[in-house]
């Protein structure tokens, strides 16, 4: 207790001493208030300068850790100019003779990326399919990956560093499958800091863009989405990423859902379409898909209950949120449709608490809302049919 009193007394004395110092050092022609504000502004500018220097140094440390990690995984992969060594070139020449699209590897992992809808709003579809059918895909990819560089500024530029690092990682993974390059991906377990921070930077950069999107979308943002989806759908790398970054990915999904619900801009629909596409792509990963379905079921059910209550009380409801709930319904419907089309569905996927809560009293909600809100009621019914049909297929 005496320690706390002494600390309070010391704080008061320090404030008093600072006030006397400001009064005695005050230049003529300025009031104490003006001089105090000037000093506060000067100190804050100095703090901002130090923070900027710290950020640059932290970025440099992460860049060096990224290079070190890639060198440990595959020492023969050249990072100086972003191109593989001679042995890797031999493998790429073999691919020109018998090309195998990278998307086919993703499909082998159970993650279908052939849906043009999922790429359209970010301008990814044409680039993705063009590279899929071009025999020089891997060569062009390697040649356009510049050396790692984290010292960049701006919202879009902040995406460049994690995108380049993860591109290198994906390319090493691809080349190692051919047996020419030997890669030790167990090194990812020994350095979770680097992979976690790189993925976090990528997700944070995308979140910043989706919060205040600008169209047309830059190539950096398009590439960022491609890299993220390739990473979480790769059969080997996705295990490491989900193990280390699952909480961050869950936070990213929740942020995207809230961005859809809270967007009140008049010209928001193109932006909502872009966010919706990214959520659909995230759902291509089985683990992320199940948790995403749970999140969407919870949000749609909560809004349905609120809308029913407002309707029964003849109260006003948020028309913007009503319009924004439809993208969530469409995402949910598409993810559930993908689930029911798969032959290896497990019953545990559909026995979650969110499903039970969603289906409970759903008929009553649809009955009361169908006259006033027919489109929303139709979506609720379609989602319920998909949930029930999945259970029937299991049984």
Neighbours of 244 (CB within 10 A): 18
Mean pLDDT across the chain? 77
Confidence at residue 8, expressed as pLDDT on a 0 to 100 scale: 82
User: Of 67-71, 133-137, 213-217, 265-269, which range is least confident?
Assistant: 133-137
pLDDT at 78 over 60: no
Does the pLDDT value for residue 336 go beyond 50? Answer: yes
List Cα–Cα distances, 103 to 9, 107, 123, 137, 276, in angstroms. 68, 6, 17, 12, 21
Range with the largest mean pLDDT of 37-41, 96-100, 192-196:
192-196
Given this model, what pLDDT does residue 21 score? 82
pLDDT tens digits, 100-130: 333 333 334 334 444 444 345 454 444 444 4
For 42-57, how does the pLDDT look when each residue is reduced to its tens digit (9 = 90+)? 877 777 677 778 888 8
pLDDT in tens, 228-256: 999 999 988 888 888 889 999 999 999 99
Higher-pLDDT residue of 71 and 76 is 71
When pLDDT is averaged across residues 93-106 and rounded to a whole number, the result is 39
- The arithmetic mean of pLDDT across residues 289-305, rounded, is 93
Mean pLDDT of 66-90: 66
């Amino acid at each position: 207790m005496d320690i706390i009193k002494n600390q309070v007394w010391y704080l008061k004395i320090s404030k008093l001493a600072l006030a006397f110092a400001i009064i005695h050092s005050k230049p003529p022609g300025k009031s104490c208030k003006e001089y105090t504000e000037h000093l506060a502004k000067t100190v804050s500018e100095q703090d901002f300068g130090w923070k900027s220097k710290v950020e640059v140094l932290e970025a440099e440390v992460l860049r060096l850790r990224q290079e070190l990690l890639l060198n440990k995984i595959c020492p023969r992969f050249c990072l100086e100019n972003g191109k593989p060594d001679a042995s890797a070139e031999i493998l790429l020449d073999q691919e020109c003779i018998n090309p195998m699209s990278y998307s086919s590897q993703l499909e082998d992992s159970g993650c279908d990326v052939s849906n043009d809808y999922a790429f359209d709003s970010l301008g990814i579809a044409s680039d993705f399919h063009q590279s899929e059918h071009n025999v020089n895909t891997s060569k062009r990819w390697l040649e356009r990956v510049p050396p790692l560089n984290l010292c960049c500024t701006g919202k879009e530029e902040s995406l460049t560093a994690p995108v380049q690092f993860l591109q290198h990682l994906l390319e090493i993974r691809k080349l190692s499958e051919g047996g020419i390059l030997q890669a030790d991906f167990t090194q990812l377990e020994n350095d979770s800091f680097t992979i976690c921070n790189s993925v976090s930077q990528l997700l944070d950069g995308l979140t910043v863009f989706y919060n205040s999107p600008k169209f047309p979308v830059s190539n950096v943002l398009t590439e960022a989405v491609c890299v993220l989806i390739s990473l979480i759908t790769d059969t080997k790398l996705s295990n490491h990423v989900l193990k280390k970054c699952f909480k961050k990915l869950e936070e990213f999904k929740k942020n995207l859902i809230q961005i859809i619900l809270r967007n009140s801009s008049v010209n928001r629909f193109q932006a909502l379409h872009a966010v919706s596409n990214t959520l659909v792509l995230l759902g291509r990963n089985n683990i992320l898909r199940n948790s995403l379905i749970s999140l969407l079921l919870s949000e749609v059910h909560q809004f349905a209950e609120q809308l029913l209550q407002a309707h029964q009380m003849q109260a006003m409801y948020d028309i913007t949120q009503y319009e924004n709930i439809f993208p969530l319904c469409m995402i949910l419907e598409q993810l559930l449709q993908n689930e029911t089309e798969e032959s290896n569905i497990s019953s545990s996927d559909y026995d979650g608490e969110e499903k039970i809560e969603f289906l409970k009293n759903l008929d009553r909600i649809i009955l009361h809302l169908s006259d006033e809100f027919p489109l929303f009621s139709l979506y609720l019914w379609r989602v319920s049919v998909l949930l029930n049909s999945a259970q029937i297929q299991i049984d």
